[in-house]
Structure 1
Amino acid sequence: MPYEVRAAVAVEKGAPAEVRTILVPDPGPEDVLVAVQACGVCHTDLHYREGAVGDDFPYLLGHEAAGVVEAVGPQVTGLAPGDYVVLAWRAPCGRCRSCRRGRPWYCFDSRNAARPMTLLDGTPLTAALGIGAFAEKTLVAAGQAVKVDPAARPEAAGLIGCGVMAGYGAAVHTGAVGSGDTVAVIGCGGVGNAAIAGASRAGARRVIAIDLDDGKLDAAERFGATDTVNSRGTDPVEAVRGLTGGHGADVVIDAVGRPETYRQGFYMRDLAGTLVQVGVPEPETTIELPLLDLFSRGGALKSSWYGDCLPSRDFPVLIDLYLSGKLHLDRFVTETVGLGDLEAAFTRMQRGEVLRSVVTL
């Protein structure tokens, strides 16, 4: 029997999200039903609402969530009602060419729930990133629900599901930051600060935070930045070179995803350095660089998909770091809001007033 629950739905492109009653079906054979406790407000949700991800409206928004398993499909193993989980938008299939090559963090056929959630009139909803967690209950594939220590408060734990994992993994996995490295992070929102925390945790000798906002730079220092650069009135490339003996950083992480920040990151590297792009670009943007510079500067230009994470491996580790006081997830939570406050939270996010608003249910 379907469950009637309240949820935030983007009905049409550009229109404000609406709180609607939706229908959530019983789990399919390999699905789990999750009672959502908290879900972070991420830029990706706004991209869905604006039609920048696709046009498969209506969208059920929300994807950065923690909650409790209520029911499981008959073929599900390893999860049971009552388990506390963080939801992941990658659930490796184990069968695609990337999984078979031993790289499940790049899975090209990630699992989602087999049965759609719908509006009351039966209209299927497209779940944001295959999750749809701005809802009192949601249905996901079993591989998307990662069991973690229930001692972690859901407002903080849910952030592991997207922004924190993306930034932390961009430093630790994609960028392979090592002991003694110098690291520059462009953009000090939730993802950028998670990258700073990851670089610091990985043993970077110097972590340089770059942003236009002094408030965000202050926050970056609390996550482990050793130096800050306000690029509103300072050339960040020259500033980073000045802080690194004229060489540039070993690893640069672009957590913004704009052509100008990517170009800055490219020239901010030391020779043979690594540039990691984790900020999601707008669909129409392009970048042009001299081919000779691409050749002569060497190194690596990488895109970080979800921090190149394996949720079943990485989520429990990050939660353990949080509970031991080594990863300060609570510092990402600027405010908690209700489901009906989502549009106001989007506005504050666009103004750069928050690291993360979190919807509690």
Structure 2
Amino acid sequence: MPHEVRAVIAMKKDAPAEVQPVLVPDPGPGEVLVSVQACGVCHTDLHYREGAVSDDFPFLLGHEAAGIVEETGPGVTDPRPGDFVVLAWRAPCGSCRACRKGRPWYCFDSRNARQPMTLLDGTPLTPALGIGAFAEKALLDAGQAVKVDPAARPEAAGLIGCGVMAGWGAAVHTGQVANGDTVAVIGCGGVGNAAIAAASLAGARRVIAVDIDDAKLDVAARFGASHSVNSRGTDPVAAVRELTGGHGADLVVEAVGRPETYLQGFHMRDLAGVLVQAGVPAPGATIELPFQELFSRGGALKSSWYGDSLPSRDFPVLIDLYLSGKLDLGAFVTETVALDEVEVAFERMQRGKVLRSVVVL
């Protein structure tokens, strides 16, 4: 018997998101029904609403969530009803060419629920990132529901489902930050601050936060930044070089997604330094690099998709770090809001007034 619940829907491009009743099926084989407790308001949800991801409207928004498994379908042994889970938009299939090569964090056929959630008239909904968690209940593939320690606060725990994992993994997995490295992070939002926290915990000797907002730089210090550069009035490349003995950083994480900040990151690397792009670029954005310098500087230019993470491995680790006081997930939560306040949260996010708004159900 389908469950009728309230959910946040984007009906058409650029139209305000609205709360509507939707139908969520009982879980089928390999699926789980999760009672959503909290879901972060991420830029990706706004991209869906704007039609920047695809035109498969209507969208069921929300993907950065935590909750309790309510029911499981046939064949599901893990997780179990009553388990506290964080939702993941990567659930490796185990059979694609990446999985067969032992690189499931690159899975090309990530699993999602097979049954659609729908409007009351039967119109199928496209769930954001295969999740759709701005809803009282969500239907997922069992592999998308990662069991973690239930002592974690849902509004904090859910954030590792996307933004925190993307930034953390960009530094740890993609950038392979090491003890004693110098690190620069461009953009001190949720993703950038997660990269800063990861680099600090990994033992980087200098972690340099770069942003155009002094308030964001102050927050970055809370996550472990040892130095800050306001690039609105300062050349960030020169500043980072000065802070690294004239050499440049061993690792630069670009968490903005703009061509100009990517070029800054390219030039503020040390010789053989690594630049990791974690910021999501706008459709159609292009970049031009000096070919001779690309060759002569060496190093690596990498793109980080979801922090090259494996949720079943990484989510429990980040939750344990949070519960031990080493990773302040609660500091990412600027405010909590209700389902019908998602549009207001989008507006605050666009104005840079929040690190994360979190919908609490």
Matches within 5 A, 1:60-79: 60-79=60-79
Amino acid of the residue matched to residue 227 of structure 1?
H
Q: Which residue of 2 aligns with 1:229?
A: 229
**Which whole-Å CA distance do the structure 1 matches of 2:311 and 2:150 have between them?**
16
Tell me the equivalent position of 1:316: 316
Displacement of 1:293: 1.3
Cα distance, 1:78 vs structure 2: 1.6
Counterpart in the other structure of 2:109: 109
| 1:1-361 → structure 2 map (5 Å cutoff) | 1-361=1-361
CA distance in 2, matches of 1:189, 1:318: 18
Give the 3-state SS of the residue equivalent to 2:340 in structure 1: helix
CA distance in structure 1 between the partners assigned to 2:12 and 2:28 by the alignment: 28
| Whole-Å separation in 2 of the counterparts to 1:257 and 1:129 | 19
SS at match of 2:334: strand
Q: Match for 2:64: what amino acid? A: E
CA distance in 1, matches of 2:310, 2:358: 24
Q: Which moved more, 1:311-320 or 1:77-86?
A: 77-86
Secondary structure at the counterpart of residue 314 of structure 1: helix
Rounded Cα–Cα distance in structure 1 between residues aligned with 2:300 and 2:247: 16
| Alignment-mate amino acid for residue 153 of structure 1 | R
Structure 2: distance between partners of 1:54 and 1:268: 34
State the one-letter code of the partner of 1:155: E
Determine the C-alpha separation between the residues in 1 that align with 2:118 and 2:87: 20
Deviation at 1:222, TM superposition (A): 0.3
Runs of 4+ more than 3 Å apart: none
CA separation in 2, counterparts of 1:203 and 1:290? 32
Cα deviation, residue 159, structure 1: 0.2
**Hey, what's the Cα distance between the residues in 1 that align with 2:243 and 2:76?**
52
Q: State the secondary structure of the residue aligned to 1:160.
A: helix
Counterparts of 2:359 and 2:265, CA distance in 1: 33
Alpha-carbon distance between aligned partners in 2 of 1:203 and 1:130, rounded to the nearest angstrom: 35
Q: Distance in 2 between matches of 1:203 and 1:13?
A: 44
Give me the CA root mean square deviation. 0.4
Q: Distance in 2 between matches of 1:277 and 1:327?
A: 22
Deviation at 1:234? 0.4
1:34 deviates by 0.3
Distance in 2 (alpha carbons) for counterparts of 1:92 and 1:80? 19
What amino acid is the match of 2:261? T
Aligned AA (1:24): V
When structure 1 is superposed on structure 2, of 172-181 and 71-80 the one drifting more is: 71-80
Counterparts of 1:218 and 1:281, CA distance in 2:
25
Per-residue deviation, residues 208-239 of structure 1 (Å, max 9, x unmatched): 00001000000000000000000000010000
In structure 2, distance between residues paired with 1:293 and 1:54: 36
- Aligned residue type for 1:120: L
Measured in 2, the distance between the counterparts of 1:138 and 1:203 equals 39
2: distance between equivalents of 1:31 and 1:260? Answer: 43
SS of the aligned residue for 1:208 comes to: strand
- For the residues of structure 1 that align with 2:354 and 2:112, how far apart are their CA atoms? 30
- 1:155, CA displacement in angstroms? 0.4
d(CA) in 1 for partners of 2:28 and 2:203? 44
Offset at residue 291 of structure 1 (A): 1.2
Q: What 5-or-longer segments of structure 2 have no aligned partner?
A: none
1:290 deviates by 1.6
Q: What do residues 321-342 of structure 1 show as CA deviations (whole Å, max 9, x unaligned)?
A: 0000000000000000000000
What is the total number of aligned residue pairs between the two structures?
A: 361
Residues in 1 aligned to 2:128 and 2:77: alpha-carbon distance in whole angstroms: 25
Report the Cα offset of residue 127 of structure 1: 0.2
| Separation in 2, partners of 1:319, 1:79 | 17
Q: Under a length normalisation based on structure 1, what TM-score does the superposition of the two structures give?
A: 1.00
**Secondary structure of residue in 1 paired with 2:132:** coil
Instruction: Deviation per CA, 1:230-261: give whole Å up to 9, x if none.
Output: 00000100000010011000000000010001
Q: Secondary structure at the match of 2:331?
A: helix
Long gaps (5+) in structure 1: none
Q: Read off the aligned partner of 2:29 and give its amino acid letter.
A: P
Task: Please give the secondary structure, in 2, of the residue aligned with 1:274.
Answer: strand
Give the match's secondary structure for 2:267: helix
Alpha-carbon distance in 1 for matches of 2:359, 2:97: 37
Q: Which amino acid aligns with 1:178?
A: A
For 2:105, give the aligned amino acid.
W
State how far apart, in whole Å, the 1-side matches of 2:244 and 2:290 are: 24
Superposition deviation, residue 58 in structure 1: 0.2
Distance in 2, Cα, partners of 1:17 & 1:28 = 29
